[in-house]
Amino acid sequence: MLRILTSFQYMPLLFMLCGSLFAKPESPAAPGGYEDQVRPILQAKCFGCHGEQKQKGKIRLDTLSSDLIKDVRSAETWHDVRGVINLGEMPPDDEEDLTAEERKIVLDWLNATIEHAHKVHQSKGGQVVLRRLTRDQYQNTMRDLLGLDINHIQDIPRDPMSPDGLRNNGSSLQMTGEQMEHYIKAARDALDKAIVTGPQPKMFHHTFKESSKVRMESGEIAGNRLGPKVRFIGRIKDDYPDEGPFEIRVKLKADLPEKKGPIPRLRVVVGYRPDTLLQEKTLAELDIIKEGTHEYVFRGRLENFPLPVRGQGKYPGLLVNVMNVANEHAEVKTEKRKDEKGKDRNFRIEDPDLPYLVVESVEFKGPIYESWPPKHDQDILIDSKEKYPDDEAKQVAHILKNFLPKAWRKEVVPEEVEKLASFFTKIRPDFPSFEEALKETLVLVLVSQDFLYLMEPESQEKRKLNSHELAARLSYFLWNTLPDDRLRDLAKQNKLTEPDALRQEVARMVKDPRAGEFIRTFATQWLDVDAIDRIEIEPNIYGKPHPDLKENFRSETIHFFGEILRRNLSAENFIESDFQLVNQELADHYKIEGVYGGDFRKVKKSAERGGVLTHGSVLLGHSTGYDSSIIKRAVFVRKNLLNDPPPPPPPNVPPLDESDPKFSKLPIREQLRIHRDDPACADCHRNIDPWGQMLEAYGATGLIRDEILRKHGKKVVARHPVDSTGKLPDGRELKNLDGLKKYLLTERRQQFAQALTSKLLAYSMGRSLEFSDEPLVEEIAKKSLKNGLRLQSLVESIVTNEAFSTK
C-alpha cells in the first residue's frame, strides 16, 4: 500500500513544540533572622554531620541558601529539615540535642520562611509540562476512538518510571524519532482494520462434540467430563479466519459435590500447539455456581490471540480448549489396570468431593459482523457518502468535522478541518480509492500533537482550563482514556466548571467499569505491586509455589484498592482493615477456610492480616525470595506510605558479607546489627531498619512464621526465633506489626494522609509536586481527615479543587 509521509516528514509538522517559563514577578523580602539567630545553632549542633567535612545522607547545611524564593532546591531541603526536627529524628540520639529554646528559634524561622515562600510561589506561573499519552492511555484511547479492541501498543516502548514512582509524569514521557515510527505504524495498522473495503468476509462455523478420552477407574471413557488436568479440545485444521470478531458458545452441565466445597470454574482458551508446549491465551473464565445445564457465549477478536502459521508445525490448526480449573493443580490419583485389550494402563481415580463439568458441545463462529460495513467503519465514515455522493472533498470534510473533536478532545476550528481536507485533496491522486487516501489523512490526525499529547494552555499566566481541557484531564485521571459522550456534552454546555457537576461525574465515573484502569494503574504504581516480578521464590525454603501465586498477590492488592475506592471507605484501611479480598487459591495459601471459586470476594480478615502491609504483593515484592528484607520493607513504609524516602546509601558503604558461612546463617536482623557497628552505616540504619523490623514475622511468601530457617540446599543448618520488635527514630518502642499499624494511624495519621494526597495529586495532574504545592496538599489532606479520609471523597476533593482545573 502506498504511504505518503515518513516520520521525518511528520516530525517538523507535529512537534515544533517549545516549553517556556512564565514571567516571574519580583519577590518580596523573606523573613530575617537566619544569619544572627539560626545559623549559629546549626553550626553548633548540625554542621558537624552536615557540613564541609561530612555530608551524612548527602545533606550539607552550611552552604544551603536561606533564600527560599530564588533557590527552590534549597527550599525543598529546608522543608525536609523542618520535618526531621519536628519528628525528633534529628539530631540523632548519640549527638547533643537541641534545647527547647534552640528548637523553637529554628522551627519558628523555618515555619515563617517556608510559609512566605509558599505564598510567593503560589502567585507565580510554572513551567508548562507537555504530557504525552502513556502507553496504557494510548491503548485505551485508540480502542475507544476507533471501536477496535485489539492490541495497539505491541511495538510501543514501555513508559519510564519517574522519580516519584509514576509512569504518567509528563517530564518523563519523551518522544523520539524511533517512537514516532511506532506511532505511525500503529495508526496505519489500526485504520486498515477500522475502515474496510470489499465484500463481507466469509464466516466459518464449527461444532465440536467429542474431545480427548480419559480412562477412569470405572473403565468408562469420559472425554467430556472435566476434572483436574482434563481438557475438552476442539481443533480447526484449516477453515478458520485470521482476524476479526469471533464467538465461542459452550453448552455444559455442572456436577457439584454434595457437601460444600470447591465449585467448578470454567476457562476457555484459544491458541495452537506448535510442538509439545501450547501457545494459548484465555478468552474467558468464570465460576459455575448452579447445577444443571448452562449455555455461555464468549466473544473476542482473533488478532488478540496466538494463531498458528498455516501449513507449518507438527500439530496444525487452531485450538479451542475448554477446562475446569477448580483445583486445577490438585494431585491426580491413578491406579494401574488392564484395558479392554489386556494392556496395562493408568486409570484415574475419581474424587467425589471435586466439582466436575460435563461439556455437551462447543461452537466456533467467525468472523461475525452484525452489519457490513461494520459499526466501527460506519462510526468514522458516518453518512458522508449519502450526504455528498459525488464530492469526495465534502465527504472528507464532513468526516473530519465529526472525527476530530473526539480524537483531539477539544472544539475544532474550521481552519484545522480545512488544512487536513487540503492534505487529502493533495494526496488523493496517489491512492486507488477514497478509503485509502482517507486512512492516510487520519494517520496524520492520530500522530498529531493534539492526539498524542494532552494539550493544555501554554500561557504567561496561570489560567483556568476550559471545559474540554477539564473533561480530558478528568477522564485520563479516572479512566485512562478519552472523555465519553456525557463528558463531552457537559463540556459543550460549559457545565463541568460547576463543583456539583464535577462531584456527580466523579461518582458516576468511579462506578463505571472503565475506572478499573485507574484502580489497576494507580494501585500498582503507588504500592509498587510490580516488585513481585523482580523476585523469585526460593523453593528449598518455601516449596514449589502455586503457578498463579504472584498473579493472585497482584489481584489482591488491586481488588483491595478498588473496594476502598468504590465503597468510599476510609483510606486508613490501607494501614489496618477488618476485611481482606481473596479467591480460593489465595485463601488456601493464607490458610483461610470456606472460600471457594476463582473470583475475589470480601471476607473477614484473619488474625494476622489487615491492611496492605500483610499483602503478599508487599511482603514478597520487598523480600529476597529467600527471606524477608528488613531494608526493602522499611523503605516501602517510609517511601510509599509516608512519602519520606530515606536517602540513598553512600557509594563507599560495603554490602553485607554473605560469603562468610557463619554470617550467612544469621537472621537478617542480626546481620544488620553487625552492619550497624560500622560507624559509616549506623546513622542511616538507625532511621531505616526499625520500620522493617516489625514485619519480621512474615516470610517472603507472606505467611506468618514462628522461626527463621537457614538452609544449605534442602538441609536446615540454623533456626532462629522471630524478633519483630523495633525502636523508631523518635524513641518509640514497638513490639510487632500491630504496634506499627497503631502508631501509623495515631502518630503518623496526618503524614499518611498527606502522602496519599500527594501521590493522587501528582498522578491526577501528570507532574511531580513541587515545594509550592505543599499548602495545597495540606489543605486537601486536612479536609479529608475531617471526613474520615474516605478515598472517593479524597478524589472528589482533588477534582473540585481549583488546582485541578488550573494550568
Stated pTM of the model = 0.85
User: What does the alpha-carbon distance between residue 611 and residue 561 come to, in Å, rounded to a whole number?
Assistant: 10
In degrees rounded to 5, what are phi and psi of residue 588? Answer: -60, -40
Nearest to 132, CA basis, from 169, 187, 163, 86: 169
DSSP character string of 300-342: EEGGGS--PPTT-SSEEEEEEEEEE-TTTTSPPPEEEEE-TTS
Instruction: List, in sequence order, the alpha helices (H) in 727-772.
Output: 737-746, 749-765
Residue 477 maps to a domain: no
**Is the Cβ–Cβ distance between 225 and 355 less than 8 Å?**
no
Same domain, 335 and 381: no
**According to the model, what pLDDT value does residue 714 have?**
77
**Is the Cβ–Cβ distance between 661 and 652 less than 8 Å?**
no
**What are the CA-CA distances from residue 57 to residues 43, 60, 87, 652 (Å)?**
17, 9, 17, 13
Same domain, 282 and 419: no
- Grid look-up 519577590 returns 27
Higher-confidence residue: 22 or 210?
A: 210
Of 407, 424, 459, at which residue does a domain stop? 459
Across the range 169-191, mean pLDDT stands at 91
The H or E element containing residue 181 is helix 177-194
pLDDT band at 700 (very low <50, low <70, confident <90, very high): very high
User: What does the alpha-carbon distance between residue 748 and residue 739 come to, in Å, rounded to a whole number?
Assistant: 13
Across the range 76-100, mean pLDDT stands at 75
Q: Which residues pair with 247 in a beta bridge?
A: 299, 365
- Candidate from 132-136, 162-166, 461-465 with smallest mean pLDDT: 461-465
Count of domains forming the chain = 5
Count of other CB atoms within 10 angstroms of residue 274? 16
User: CA-based angle 553:555:561, to the nearest 5?
Assistant: 110
- The boundaries of the domain holding residue 133 are 1-23+128-200+373-459
User: What does the alpha-carbon distance between residue 787 and residue 561 come to, in Å, rounded to a whole number?
Assistant: 19
Query: Does position 713 have pLDDT exceeding 80, yes or no?
Result: no
Query: Does position 124 have pLDDT exceeding 70, yes or no?
Result: no
Same domain, 303 and 210: yes
Same domain, 244 and 317: yes
How many residues belong to the chain?
A: 807
3-class SS string, 130-147: CEECCHHHHHHHHHHHHC
- Grid look-up 536517602 returns 647
- Candidate from 342-346, 365-369, 403-407, 684-688 with smallest mean pLDDT: 342-346
pLDDT band at 660 (very low <50, low <70, confident <90, very high): low
Pairing of the two strands 204-208 and 356-366: antiparallel
**According to the model, what pLDDT value does residue 5 have?**
54
**Is the Cβ–Cβ distance between 66 and 113 less than 8 Å?**
yes
Across the range 620-635, mean pLDDT stands at 95
Residue 539 maps to a domain: yes
- Candidate from 85-94, 105-114, 712-721, 728-737 with smallest mean pLDDT: 85-94
Give tens-digit pLDDT for 506-558.
999 999 999 999 999 999 999 999 999 999 999 989 999 999 999 999 999 99
**According to the model, what pLDDT value does residue 381 have?**
97
Residue 486 maps to a domain: no
**According to the model, what pLDDT value does residue 123 have?**
44
User: What does the alpha-carbon distance between residue 520 and residue 573 come to, in Å, rounded to a whole number?
Assistant: 18
Query: Does position 753 have pLDDT exceeding 90, yes or no?
Result: yes
Residue 483 maps to a domain: no
User: What does the alpha-carbon distance between residue 91 and residue 82 come to, in Å, rounded to a whole number?
Assistant: 12
3-state secondary structure of 206: strand
User: Grid coordinates representing 617?
Assistant: 504483593
**According to the model, what pLDDT value does residue 20 have?**
32
Same domain, 449 and 566: no
Higher-confidence residue: 313 or 152?
A: 152
- Grid look-up 550539607 returns 60
Higher-confidence residue: 795 or 91?
A: 795
Same domain, 446 and 588: no
Please state, rounded to an integer, the average pLDDT across all residues of the chain.
Answer: 86
Same domain, 331 and 186: no
**Is the Cβ–Cβ distance between 21 and 127 less than 8 Å?**
yes
Residue 485 maps to a domain: no
**Is the Cβ–Cβ distance between 743 and 734 less than 8 Å?**
yes
Across the range 748-757, mean pLDDT stands at 98
Query: Does position 131 have pLDDT exceeding 50, yes or no?
Result: yes
**According to the model, what pLDDT value does residue 36 have?**
84
**According to the model, what pLDDT value does residue 26 have?**
41
Give tens-digit pLDDT for 211-240.
656 555 555 545 577 777 778 889 998 899
User: Grid coordinates representing 102?
Assistant: 534552640
| Burial group, residue 485, by CB count within 10 angstroms (0-12, 13-18, 19+) | exposed
Q: What is the DSSP letter of 553?
A: H
Of 103, 122, 141, at which residue does a domain stop? 122
Give tens-digit pLDDT for 540-553.
899 999 999 999 99
**According to the model, what pLDDT value does residue 286 have?**
95
User: What does the alpha-carbon distance between residue 193 and residue 374 come to, in Å, rounded to a whole number?
Assistant: 10
Same domain, 195 and 261: no
Across the range 118-127, mean pLDDT stands at 50
**According to the model, what pLDDT value does residue 219 have?**
52
Same domain, 686 and 559: yes
Nearest to 462, CA basis, from 119, 168, 24, 30: 24
User: What does the alpha-carbon distance between residue 348 and residue 335 come to, in Å, rounded to a whole number?
Assistant: 7
Higher-confidence residue: 277 or 211?
A: 277
What percent of the chain stands above pLDDT 90?
59
**According to the model, what pLDDT value does residue 568 have?**
98
**Is the Cβ–Cβ distance between 396 and 168 less than 8 Å?**
no
pLDDT band at 348 (very low <50, low <70, confident <90, very high): low
Helical packing angle, 499-511 and 485-492, nearest 10°: 170
Same domain, 616 and 762: no
Across the range 444-451, mean pLDDT stands at 93
- Candidate from 38-47, 440-449, 562-571 with smallest mean pLDDT: 38-47
Residue 777 maps to a domain: yes
Same domain, 167 and 228: no
| CB-side neighbour CA atoms (13 Å) of 569 | 17
User: Grid coordinates representing 300?
Assistant: 473476542
Nearest to 477, CA basis, from 169, 790, 763, 803: 763
Give tens-digit pLDDT for 191-205.
999 999 999 999 999
Residue 507 maps to a domain: no
Residue 400 maps to a domain: yes
Query: Does position 125 have pLDDT exceeding 50, yes or no?
Result: no
Q: What is the DSSP letter of 570?
A: B
CATH code at 241? 2.60.120
Of 707, 729, 746, at which residue does a domain stop? 746
User: Grid coordinates representing 538?
Assistant: 526460593
Nearest to 562, CA basis, from 631, 513, 505: 513
Chain centre distance of CA 722: 33
Contacts of residues 369-375 at CB distance under 8 Å and 24 or more positions apart, as own/partner, are 369/200, 369/201, 369/244, 369/245, 372/196, 372/199, 372/200, 373/196, 374/196, 375/147
**According to the model, what pLDDT value does residue 656 have?**
61
Across the range 61-86, mean pLDDT stands at 75
**According to the model, what pLDDT value does residue 127 have?**
43
Same domain, 259 and 380: no
